[in-house]
Protein backbone atom coordinates (compact mmCIF):
# COMPACT_ATOMS: atom_id res chain seq x y z
CA UNK A 1 0.00 0.00 0.00
CA UNK A 2 1.53 3.30 -1.13
CA UNK A 3 -0.25 6.13 0.69
CA UNK A 4 0.98 8.97 -1.58
CA UNK A 5 -0.60 7.40 -4.66
CA UNK A 6 -3.95 7.25 -2.92
CA UNK A 7 -3.64 10.87 -1.78
CA UNK A 8 -3.05 11.99 -5.38
CA UNK A 9 -5.64 9.69 -6.97
CA UNK A 10 -8.07 7.63 -4.84
CA UNK A 11 -8.49 5.13 -7.72
CA UNK A 12 -4.94 3.91 -7.11
CA UNK A 13 -5.58 3.17 -3.43
CA UNK A 14 -5.35 -0.57 -2.76
CA UNK A 15 -4.32 -2.87 0.05
CA UNK A 16 -3.12 -6.44 0.32
CA UNK A 17 -5.47 -7.73 2.99
CA UNK A 18 -5.26 -5.17 5.78
CA UNK A 19 -2.29 -2.81 5.74
CA UNK A 20 -1.09 0.17 7.70
CA UNK A 21 1.50 2.87 6.92
CA UNK A 22 3.12 5.53 9.08
CA UNK A 23 5.73 8.06 8.05
CA UNK A 24 7.24 11.45 8.53
CA UNK A 25 8.75 14.08 6.25
CA UNK A 26 11.37 16.55 7.44
CA UNK A 27 10.93 19.72 5.40
CA UNK A 28 13.69 22.36 5.42
CA UNK A 29 12.84 25.62 3.61
CA UNK A 30 15.13 28.66 3.56
CA UNK A 31 13.20 31.93 3.06
CA UNK A 32 14.47 35.48 2.87
CA UNK A 33 13.77 38.86 1.38
CA UNK A 34 15.97 41.78 0.36
CA UNK A 35 14.95 45.43 0.33
CA UNK A 36 17.18 47.66 -1.81
CA UNK A 37 18.55 51.05 -0.83
CA UNK A 38 16.90 54.12 -2.33
CA UNK A 39 18.35 57.54 -3.12
CA UNK A 40 15.18 59.49 -2.50
CA UNK A 41 12.35 59.03 0.00
CA UNK A 42 8.85 60.19 -0.96
CA UNK A 43 6.26 61.16 1.66
CA UNK A 44 3.42 58.78 2.58
CA UNK A 45 5.34 55.79 1.21
CA UNK A 46 6.20 52.63 3.16
CA UNK A 47 9.91 51.97 2.72
CA UNK A 48 11.38 48.79 4.13
CA UNK A 49 14.78 48.87 5.80
CA UNK A 50 17.48 48.26 3.20
CA UNK A 51 18.60 44.82 4.35
CA UNK A 52 18.43 41.11 3.70
CA UNK A 53 16.37 39.31 6.30
CA UNK A 54 16.17 35.54 6.77
CA UNK A 55 13.17 33.77 8.24
CA UNK A 56 13.55 31.69 11.37
CA UNK A 57 12.10 28.17 11.66
CA UNK A 58 13.91 26.20 8.98
CA UNK A 59 12.85 22.63 9.86
CA UNK A 60 9.33 21.20 9.96
CA UNK A 61 8.11 17.66 10.65
CA UNK A 62 5.08 16.63 8.54
CA UNK A 63 3.39 13.35 9.59
CA UNK A 64 1.43 10.87 7.49
CA UNK A 65 -0.72 7.87 8.33
CA UNK A 66 -2.78 5.43 6.29
CA UNK A 67 -4.74 2.26 6.88
CA UNK A 68 -6.35 0.18 4.15
CA UNK A 69 -8.45 -2.95 3.90
CA UNK A 70 -9.38 -5.12 0.94
CA UNK A 71 -13.07 -5.91 1.42
CA UNK A 72 -13.20 -8.23 -1.57
CA UNK A 73 -11.76 -8.63 -5.06
CA UNK A 74 -13.32 -5.33 -6.19
CA UNK A 75 -13.47 -2.97 -3.21
CA UNK A 76 -10.73 -1.41 -1.07
CA UNK A 77 -11.45 1.01 1.77
CA UNK A 78 -9.11 3.07 3.89
CA UNK A 79 -8.27 6.25 5.76
CA UNK A 80 -5.50 8.70 4.84
CA UNK A 81 -4.27 11.35 7.28
CA UNK A 82 -1.54 13.77 6.19
CA UNK A 83 -0.21 17.29 6.43
CA UNK A 84 -0.59 19.44 3.33
CA UNK A 85 2.10 22.07 3.49
CA UNK A 86 0.98 25.61 4.22
CA UNK A 87 3.13 28.68 4.64
CA UNK A 88 5.36 29.91 7.43
CA UNK A 89 7.65 32.89 7.91
CA UNK A 90 9.06 34.54 11.01
CA UNK A 91 11.31 37.55 10.51
CA UNK A 92 12.53 38.29 14.01
CA UNK A 93 12.90 41.95 15.01
CA UNK A 94 15.75 43.07 17.23
CA UNK A 95 13.38 45.34 19.17
CA UNK A 96 9.65 46.11 19.14
CA UNK A 97 9.62 49.29 16.99
CA UNK A 98 11.63 47.51 14.33
CA UNK A 99 10.67 44.61 12.11
CA UNK A 100 9.77 44.09 8.47
CA UNK A 101 6.71 46.36 8.66
CA UNK A 102 7.86 48.27 11.79
CA UNK A 103 5.68 46.29 14.17
CA UNK A 104 8.14 43.87 15.74
CA UNK A 105 8.61 40.27 14.65
CA UNK A 106 6.71 39.68 11.42
CA UNK A 107 5.34 36.56 9.76
CA UNK A 108 2.51 34.11 9.24
CA UNK A 109 1.99 30.45 10.09
CA UNK A 110 -0.52 28.29 8.19
CA UNK A 111 -0.93 24.57 8.92
CA UNK A 112 -3.28 22.19 7.10
CA UNK A 113 -4.27 18.62 8.01
CA UNK A 114 -6.22 16.37 5.62
CA UNK A 115 -8.33 13.44 6.85
CA UNK A 116 -9.60 11.39 3.87
CA UNK A 117 -11.79 8.29 4.10
CA UNK A 118 -11.16 6.58 0.76
CA UNK A 119 -12.74 3.82 -1.34
CA UNK A 120 -11.63 2.33 -4.65
CA UNK A 121 -13.68 0.00 -6.86
CA UNK A 122 -12.41 -2.36 -9.56
CA UNK A 123 -14.98 -1.81 -12.32
CA UNK A 124 -13.41 -4.37 -14.66
CA UNK A 125 -9.96 -5.79 -15.45
CA UNK A 126 -8.76 -2.47 -16.86
CA UNK A 127 -10.57 0.28 -14.93
CA UNK A 128 -10.56 1.20 -11.25
CA UNK A 129 -12.57 4.11 -9.80
CA UNK A 130 -11.97 5.93 -6.52
CA UNK A 131 -13.52 8.50 -4.22
CA UNK A 132 -12.28 10.28 -1.09
CA UNK A 133 -14.15 12.49 1.29
CA UNK A 134 -11.83 15.29 2.42
CA UNK A 135 -12.05 16.81 5.89
CA UNK A 136 -9.58 19.66 6.35
CA UNK A 137 -8.45 21.36 9.54
CA UNK A 138 -6.27 24.44 9.19
CA UNK A 139 -4.73 26.85 11.68
CA UNK A 140 -3.43 30.34 11.02
CA UNK A 141 -1.57 33.05 12.91
CA UNK A 142 -0.17 36.41 11.77
CA UNK A 143 2.03 38.91 13.55
CA UNK A 144 3.74 42.21 12.82
CA UNK A 145 1.10 43.62 10.43
CA UNK A 146 -0.53 46.30 12.59
CA UNK A 147 0.81 49.13 10.44
CA UNK A 148 -1.58 48.07 7.68
CA UNK A 149 -4.50 49.04 9.94
CA UNK A 150 -5.34 52.09 7.80
CA UNK A 151 -5.99 49.71 4.89
CA UNK A 152 -8.23 47.30 6.86
CA UNK A 153 -11.99 47.25 7.39
CA UNK A 154 -11.43 45.53 10.76
CA UNK A 155 -8.07 46.69 12.20
CA UNK A 156 -8.70 44.79 15.44
CA UNK A 157 -8.78 41.52 13.42
CA UNK A 158 -5.65 42.12 11.37
CA UNK A 159 -2.62 40.94 13.31
CA UNK A 160 -1.29 39.48 16.57
CA UNK A 161 -4.54 37.71 17.50
CA UNK A 162 -3.07 34.29 18.22
CA UNK A 163 -3.94 31.03 16.49
CA UNK A 164 -7.30 30.68 14.74
CA UNK A 165 -8.76 27.39 13.46
CA UNK A 166 -11.11 26.60 10.59
CA UNK A 167 -12.52 23.40 9.08
CA UNK A 168 -14.09 22.37 5.78
CA UNK A 169 -15.22 19.39 3.70
CA UNK A 170 -14.57 18.50 0.06
CA UNK A 171 -14.40 15.51 -2.25
CA UNK A 172 -11.84 13.91 -4.55
CA UNK A 173 -12.64 11.60 -7.48
CA UNK A 174 -10.29 9.44 -9.52
CA UNK A 175 -9.98 6.90 -12.32
CA UNK A 176 -7.15 4.53 -13.26
CA UNK A 177 -7.11 2.71 -16.62
CA UNK A 178 -4.70 -0.02 -17.71
CA UNK A 179 -4.62 0.08 -21.52
CA UNK A 180 -2.27 -2.86 -21.98
CA UNK A 181 0.83 -4.40 -20.37
CA UNK A 182 2.88 -1.31 -21.28
CA UNK A 183 0.57 1.69 -20.95
CA UNK A 184 -1.77 3.03 -18.30
CA UNK A 185 -3.25 6.40 -17.42
CA UNK A 186 -5.16 8.04 -14.60
CA UNK A 187 -6.95 11.23 -13.65
CA UNK A 188 -8.21 12.81 -10.46
CA UNK A 189 -10.20 15.88 -9.48
CA UNK A 190 -10.28 17.51 -6.06
CA UNK A 191 -13.10 19.93 -5.42
CA UNK A 192 -12.56 23.30 -3.83
CA UNK A 193 -13.01 23.15 -0.06
CA UNK A 194 -15.18 25.85 1.51
CA UNK A 195 -13.55 26.56 4.87
CA UNK A 196 -14.94 28.29 7.93
CA UNK A 197 -13.67 31.85 8.14
CA UNK A 198 -10.69 32.92 10.23
CA UNK A 199 -12.71 35.31 12.42
CA UNK A 200 -9.61 36.53 14.27
CA UNK A 201 -8.18 37.65 10.90
CA UNK A 202 -11.33 38.98 9.22
CA UNK A 203 -9.49 42.28 8.71
CA UNK A 204 -6.65 40.60 6.83
CA UNK A 205 -8.05 37.98 4.44
CA UNK A 206 -10.62 38.82 1.76
CA UNK A 207 -14.26 37.86 2.35
CA UNK A 208 -14.01 38.64 6.08
CA UNK A 209 -11.33 36.07 6.88
CA UNK A 210 -12.01 33.57 4.10
CA UNK A 211 -9.25 31.14 3.20
CA UNK A 212 -10.73 28.30 1.12
CA UNK A 213 -8.76 25.56 -0.62
CA UNK A 214 -8.69 25.73 -4.43
CA UNK A 215 -9.77 22.89 -6.67
CA UNK A 216 -7.20 20.94 -8.64
CA UNK A 217 -7.07 18.46 -11.49
CA UNK A 218 -4.35 15.92 -12.30
CA UNK A 219 -3.71 13.74 -15.34
CA UNK A 220 -0.98 11.13 -15.61
CA UNK A 221 0.33 8.34 -17.79
CA UNK A 222 2.81 5.50 -17.28
CA UNK A 223 4.86 3.61 -19.86
CA UNK A 224 6.49 0.27 -18.97
CA UNK A 225 9.09 0.35 -21.75
CA UNK A 226 11.06 -2.61 -20.35
CA UNK A 227 10.00 -5.28 -17.84
CA UNK A 228 11.84 -3.53 -14.99
CA UNK A 229 11.71 0.08 -16.18
CA UNK A 230 8.85 2.55 -16.16
CA UNK A 231 8.48 6.24 -17.06
CA UNK A 232 5.62 8.34 -15.73
CA UNK A 233 4.42 11.83 -16.65
CA UNK A 234 1.87 13.90 -14.71
CA UNK A 235 0.26 17.28 -15.27
CA UNK A 236 -1.52 19.07 -12.45
CA UNK A 237 -3.34 22.39 -12.31
CA UNK A 238 -4.18 24.22 -9.06
CA UNK A 239 -6.87 26.87 -9.43
CA UNK A 240 -5.72 29.59 -7.03
CA UNK A 241 -7.94 32.11 -8.86
CA UNK A 242 -10.94 30.55 -7.05
CA UNK A 243 -9.72 31.85 -3.67
CA UNK A 244 -9.87 35.63 -3.36
CA UNK A 245 -7.61 35.84 -0.30
CA UNK A 246 -4.87 34.12 -2.33
CA UNK A 247 -5.52 35.51 -5.82
CA UNK A 248 -6.61 39.13 -5.33
CA UNK A 249 -3.72 41.43 -6.38
CA UNK A 250 -2.11 43.95 -4.08
CA UNK A 251 -3.37 46.75 -6.35
CA UNK A 252 -6.80 46.18 -4.73
CA UNK A 253 -5.32 47.83 -1.65
CA UNK A 254 -6.30 51.21 -3.11
CA UNK A 255 -9.86 50.26 -4.09
CA UNK A 256 -11.07 47.98 -1.28
CA UNK A 257 -10.06 47.51 2.37
CA UNK A 258 -8.30 44.39 3.61
CA UNK A 259 -10.94 41.88 4.66
CA UNK A 260 -13.52 43.00 2.07
CA UNK A 261 -14.69 40.83 -0.84
CA UNK A 262 -12.17 42.54 -3.12
CA UNK A 263 -9.55 43.07 -0.42
CA UNK A 264 -5.94 42.65 -1.46
CA UNK A 265 -4.40 39.19 -1.29
CA UNK A 266 -1.17 37.58 -2.46
CA UNK A 267 -1.84 37.89 -6.19
CA UNK A 268 -1.12 34.24 -6.94
CA UNK A 269 -1.94 32.97 -10.44
CA UNK A 270 -3.28 29.51 -11.29
CA UNK A 271 -0.41 27.03 -11.28
CA UNK A 272 0.40 24.22 -13.69
CA UNK A 273 2.87 21.56 -12.57
CA UNK A 274 4.67 19.16 -14.93
CA UNK A 275 6.20 16.00 -13.41
CA UNK A 276 8.46 13.41 -15.02
CA UNK A 277 9.50 10.27 -13.16
CA UNK A 278 11.44 7.07 -13.69
CA UNK A 279 11.13 3.81 -11.73
CA UNK A 280 13.55 0.91 -11.83
CA UNK A 281 12.50 -2.44 -10.37
CA UNK A 282 16.06 -3.25 -9.36
CA UNK A 283 15.20 -6.56 -7.68
CA UNK A 284 12.01 -8.36 -6.75
CA UNK A 285 12.16 -6.60 -3.38
CA UNK A 286 13.44 -3.16 -4.37
CA UNK A 287 12.26 -0.19 -6.46
CA UNK A 288 14.37 2.91 -7.12
CA UNK A 289 12.80 6.17 -8.32
CA UNK A 290 13.97 9.51 -9.71
CA UNK A 291 11.84 12.50 -10.61
CA UNK A 292 11.78 16.13 -11.60
CA UNK A 293 8.97 18.66 -11.70
CA UNK A 294 8.56 22.15 -13.06
CA UNK A 295 6.01 24.67 -11.81
CA UNK A 296 4.87 27.83 -13.50
CA UNK A 297 5.72 30.82 -11.30
CA UNK A 298 2.54 31.79 -9.41
CA UNK A 299 3.80 35.09 -7.98
CA UNK A 300 3.98 38.10 -10.31
CA UNK A 301 6.70 40.69 -9.75
CA UNK A 302 4.02 43.30 -9.01
CA UNK A 303 2.93 41.44 -5.83
CA UNK A 304 6.22 41.10 -3.98
CA UNK A 305 5.33 43.18 -0.91
CA UNK A 306 2.75 40.84 0.67
CA UNK A 307 4.56 37.73 -0.56
CA UNK A 308 7.41 38.52 1.80
CA UNK A 309 5.03 36.67 4.15
CA UNK A 310 4.59 33.69 1.79
CA UNK A 311 7.49 33.48 -0.69
CA UNK A 312 6.27 30.36 -2.54
CA UNK A 313 8.43 31.05 -5.59
CA UNK A 314 9.76 27.52 -6.25
CA UNK A 315 9.77 26.28 -9.85
CA UNK A 316 11.99 23.16 -10.00
CA UNK A 317 11.98 20.12 -7.69
CA UNK A 318 14.23 17.06 -7.95
CA UNK A 319 13.52 13.83 -6.07
CA UNK A 320 14.97 10.38 -5.46
CA UNK A 321 13.41 7.51 -3.58
CA UNK A 322 13.55 3.84 -2.74
CA UNK A 323 11.04 1.19 -1.68
CA UNK A 324 12.34 -2.06 -0.21
CA UNK A 325 10.35 -5.08 0.92
CA UNK A 326 11.91 -6.17 4.20
CA UNK A 327 9.67 -9.25 4.22
CA UNK A 328 6.44 -10.46 2.66
CA UNK A 329 4.56 -8.27 5.13
CA UNK A 330 6.76 -5.19 5.67
CA UNK A 331 7.95 -2.49 3.25
CA UNK A 332 10.29 0.44 3.91
CA UNK A 333 10.11 3.65 1.84
CA UNK A 334 12.43 6.64 1.77
CA UNK A 335 12.73 9.73 -0.38
CA UNK A 336 14.73 12.95 -0.57
CA UNK A 337 14.08 16.10 -2.57
CA UNK A 338 15.77 19.39 -3.38
CA UNK A 339 14.42 22.58 -4.90
CA UNK A 340 17.10 25.12 -5.85
CA UNK A 341 16.87 28.72 -4.74
CA UNK A 342 14.58 30.90 -6.81
CA UNK A 343 14.26 34.71 -6.64
CA UNK A 344 11.45 36.99 -7.77
CA UNK A 345 12.09 40.76 -7.81
CA UNK A 346 9.74 43.68 -8.19
CA UNK A 347 8.83 47.14 -6.95
CA UNK A 348 7.55 47.81 -3.44
CA UNK A 349 3.92 48.63 -4.20
CA UNK A 350 3.74 51.19 -1.39
CA UNK A 351 7.11 52.75 -2.32
CA UNK A 352 7.56 52.11 -6.07
CA UNK A 353 11.12 53.44 -6.27
CA UNK A 354 12.31 50.65 -3.92
CA UNK A 355 13.06 47.18 -5.30
CA UNK A 356 12.20 44.08 -3.25
CA UNK A 357 13.33 40.51 -3.80
CA UNK A 358 11.96 37.31 -2.24
CA UNK A 359 13.59 33.90 -2.44
CA UNK A 360 13.28 30.35 -1.20
CA UNK A 361 15.30 27.15 -1.29
CA UNK A 362 13.88 23.80 -0.18
CA UNK A 363 15.13 20.37 0.77
CA UNK A 364 13.58 17.46 2.57
CA UNK A 365 13.74 13.83 3.59
CA UNK A 366 10.87 11.42 4.19
CA UNK A 367 10.60 7.87 5.49
CA UNK A 368 7.65 5.55 5.98
CA UNK A 369 6.97 1.97 6.96
CA UNK A 370 4.05 -0.09 5.65
CA UNK A 371 3.06 -3.48 6.96
CA UNK A 372 0.31 -6.06 6.59
CA UNK A 373 -1.69 -6.65 9.74
Q: What is the pLDDT of residues 193-247, one digit of tens each?
A: 999 999 999 999 999 999 999 999 999 999 999 999 999 999 999 999 999 999 9
Measured CA to CA, the distance from residue 207 to residue 8 in angstroms comes to: 29
b/e string for 216-245 if b means 16 or more Cβ within 10 A? bebebbbebeeeeebebebebbbebeebbb
CA distance 35 to 341: 18
What was the pLDDT predicted at 16?
A: 87
Give the whole-angstrom CA distance, residue 234 versus residue 312: 21
Taking the C-alpha atoms of 59, 330, 181 and 174 in order, what is their torsion angle to the nearest 10 degrees?
Answer: -50
CA angle, residues 366, 367, 369, in degrees to nearest 5: 155
Tell me, what's the pLDDT at 1? 63
* CA–CA gap between residue 119 and residue 368 (Å, rounded): 22
**Dihedral (CA of 88, 94, 100, 105) sign:** positive
Q: What is the pLDDT of residue 94?
A: 78
pLDDT of residue 6: 83
Judged against a pLDDT cut of 70, whether residue 271 lies above it is answered with yes
Quick check: 37 pLDDT over 70? yes
pLDDT band at 87; cut points 50, 70, 90: confident
Mean pLDDT over residues 122-148, rounded? 96
pTM exceeds 0.75 for this model: yes
- In percent, the amount of the chain with pLDDT more than 70 equals 98
Contact by Cβ (8 Å): 16, 1: yes
Mean pLDDT, the chain, integer: 95
Span 307-318, pLDDT tens digits:
999 999 999 999
Q: Cite the beta strand spans of the chain per DSSP E.
A: 18-35, 52-54, 60-70, 75-88, 107-122, 127-143, 164-178, 183-190, 194-195, 216-226, 229-238, 271-281, 286-295, 316-325, 330-348, 351-372
Contacts 24+ apart (CB under 8 A), 277-284: 277/231, 277/232, 277/233, 277/234, 277/319, 278/229, 278/230, 278/231, 278/232, 279/229, 279/230, 279/231, 279/232, 280/228, 280/229, 281/227, 281/228, 281/229, 281/230, 282/228, 284/325
Q: 98 pLDDT band (50/70/90 cuts)? A: confident
**What sign results for the dihedral spanned by CA atoms 260, 266, 269, 271?**
negative
pLDDT at 5: 76
Amino acid sequence: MEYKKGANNPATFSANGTQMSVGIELFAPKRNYTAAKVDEYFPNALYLDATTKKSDNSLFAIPEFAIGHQLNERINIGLLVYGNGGMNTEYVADSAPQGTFYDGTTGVDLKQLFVSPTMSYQLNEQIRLGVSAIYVVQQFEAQGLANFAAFSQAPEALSNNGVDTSTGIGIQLGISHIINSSFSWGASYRSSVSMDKFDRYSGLFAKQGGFDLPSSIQLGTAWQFLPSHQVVFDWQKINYSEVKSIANPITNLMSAPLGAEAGAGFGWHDMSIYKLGYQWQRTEQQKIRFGASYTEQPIPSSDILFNILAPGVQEWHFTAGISHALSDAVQFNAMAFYSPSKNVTGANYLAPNQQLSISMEQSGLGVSLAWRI
